Amino acid sequence: MELRGQLDLDRLQAVERKKIEGDLRTMEQEQALQEKLAEARREEVEREQTKHDVEEAMYYKGLLDANQAKKQNATAGPGVVCNRCGAESPAGSRFCKTCGERIV
Ligand SMILES: [Zn+2]
């Protein structure tokens, strides 16, 4: 009787141990999964950040280009229209860029 009880106890402990080991494995898997998720989220955030940086850079470059274009237009002023062909040439041109007519 006593031996049988001991055997049962051993088996019970073995089952418990297996269950705990299983739980531990599950926990490890869970943890690994969480870490993977966290990493994926970090990468996502970095990607978003990079995308944002690029968009910001492009935005500022656009502003810069627009400013430069505005400045160029400002220095050039309104173009002059050729009397002969009607084409517009940059202000200050002495000759029409289209037909070569002298612009007075
Ligand atoms: Zn012309």
Q: What is the chain's pLDDT, residue by residue, as a tens digit (104 residues)? A: 566 677 888 888 888 888 888 888 888 888 998 999 999 999 998 999 888 988 989 888 888 888 887 776 665 567 899 999 999 998 889 999 999 999 87
* Residue 85 domain flag: no
Extract the tokens encoding 48.
């978003």
Do the domain assignments include residue 102? no
Tell me the CA–centroid distance for residue 71 and ligand 1, in Å: 26
CA distance 9 to 18: 14
Taking the centre of ligand 1 as the mean of its atom positions, its distance from the CA of residue 92, in whole angstroms, is 14
Model confidence pTM above 0.85: no
Measure 60 CA to ligand 1 centroid, in angstroms. Answer: 38
As to burial, measured by CB atoms within 10 angstroms (0-12 exposed, 13-18 middle, 19+ buried), residue 87 is middle
Q: Note whether residue 100 is domain-resident.
A: no
81 C-alpha to center of ligand 1: Å?
8
Query: Residue 31's domain spans which residues?
Result: 2-77
How far, in Å, is the centroid of ligand 1 from the Cα of 93? 11
Instruction: Please tell me the total count of domains within the chain.
Output: 1
In a domain? residue 18: yes
Tokens of 88: 């517009």
Place of tokens 């910001």: 56
How far is residue 94's CA from residue 75's CA, in Å, rounded to a whole number? 16
